[in-house]
Amino acid sequence: MPFHQAGAAEILRSVQKDESYLSHLKSSVADIVQRSFGTRTWLNVNQYSDVLCELGYYTLTTLCLRQTLGEEYTGIIQVDRNRRRLPSHLERTVMVILQCFGPKVLQLGLAKFEKSVRVGSFSTYLRPELRNIILQQIPKLQYSLTLLHRIHLAVFYFSSGFYHISKRMTGIKYVLIREWLGDNAASQSFKILGSVLFLHVVLTLSYAAYTNLFAKPKTSSKRTLSSCYVDSRKQCPLCLEERSHSSVTPCGHLFCWQCIHESLQTLQQCPLCRYHVLPSQVVPLLNYD
């Protein structure tokens, strides 16, 4: 008898359980590095240690044909897109690589492209007007990726198929191996959540379109281009504006004081690297440019 496809509730609980274990693993590694080599060394390797922790976790579970702790907790197992066999070794390898390195490579690629346009060799071949236009579009591209991820989540809430983009790209699905753990009653609630998320995306895009088409300030184009661009070194990753009252998290990332505290009220993790952060650990930087 074929297994039934896992619902959004089981997949989401599995992801939350895995993130809990990964957070504990990253905190333990960070504590060991800090105690052994000092805070400065930890800040230098922190961005790489998080990726390596994830890679090690999924290597010992998914790549070894074992369930992750979250998957075992909710009674689900990975299968191919036809739900007839386990994913091949190539499919699992590609999925793990995309999940561990995809966001970091995309983030570093955009940062490197912005730097090359702003002060690198690429900037010497561009006219100043074109260079300003490209720099102005980079924050919009970054926010477009955020909207794309929200659309992906909304589709997941409706179809209960793929929570991670890496699994959608490789076609890896989940089925229930212990059906009595399934929560069919939650499907309607998730569909409502997906509708709200779709509505939020539509309103965001509508407001952006209205602002760009009908609410442009009556200033010269040259002044508009220069005033809209915010240097990435001074930009808050949350509001995408120039940082106000710059504050630093224990993992070394900079945000506006108000933005990071509002984020931590919802989830006590760094929005960039998901390192566990308490509001009391955020340090305001005085006289920081």
DSSP-H helix ranges across 8-164: 8-37, 39-60, 69-74, 89-118, 128-159
Share of the chain above pLDDT 90, in %: 25
pLDDT, residue 59, reads 94
- How would residue 2 be classed by pLDDT, with cut points 50, 70 and 90? low
Tell me the average pLDDT of the chain.
Answer: 82
- How would residue 225 be classed by pLDDT, with cut points 50, 70 and 90? very low
Strand partners, 191: none
Tokens describing residue 41: 């060394």
Among the listed residues 177, 276, 289, 209, the one whose alpha carbon sits nearest the alpha carbon of residue 244: 289
pLDDT, residue 35, reads 87
> How do residues 104-130 score in pLDDT, each as one tens digit?
888 888 888 888 887 766 667 777 778
pLDDT, residue 205, reads 84
pLDDT, residue 167, reads 93
CATH fourth-level superfamily of 234-289: Zinc/RING finger domain, C3HC4 (zinc finger) (3.30.40.10)
Contact 21, 78 (CB under 8 A): no
Among the listed residues 256, 201, 233, 194, the one whose alpha carbon sits nearest the alpha carbon of residue 282: 256
> How do residues 147-185 score in pLDDT, each as one tens digit?
888 899 999 998 888 899 999 999 999 988 876 655 666
Tokens describing residue 163: 């929570």
Q: Which residue has the higher pLDDT, 134 or 28?
A: 28
Report the predicted TM-score, pTM, of the whole model to 2 decimal places: 0.69
pLDDT, residue 230, reads 63
Share of the chain above pLDDT 70, in %: 89
pLDDT, residue 139, reads 77
Q: For strand 246-248 and strand 173-176, is the pairing parallel, antiparallel, or unpaired? A: unpaired
Gap between the Cα atoms of 229 and 138, Å rounded: 9
Cα 55 to the center of its chain, rounded Å: 16
Residue ranges of domains in the chain: 8-229, 234-289
Tokens describing residue 40: 């400065």
Q: Which residue has the higher pLDDT, 20 or 118?
A: 20
> How do residues 65-110 score in pLDDT, each as one tens digit?
899 999 999 889 999 888 888 999 999 999 999 999 988 888 888 8
Give the lowest-confidence range in 95-99, 145-149, 225-229, 255-259: 225-229
Strand partners, 255: 247
Q: Which residue has the higher pLDDT, 126 or 244?
A: 244
Q: What is the DSSP string of 72-100?
A: HHHTEEEE-TTSSSPPPHHHHHHHHHHHH
User: Does residue 224 register a pLDDT over 50?
Assistant: no
Q: For the beta carbon of residue 216, count every other beta carbon within 10 angstroms.
A: 10
User: Does residue 236 register a pLDDT over 60?
Assistant: yes
Q: Which residue has the higher pLDDT, 100 or 45?
A: 100
Q: Kindly list the distances between the CA atom of residue 193 and the CA atoms of 51, 99, 168, in Å, as whole numbers in the listed order.
A: 30, 24, 20
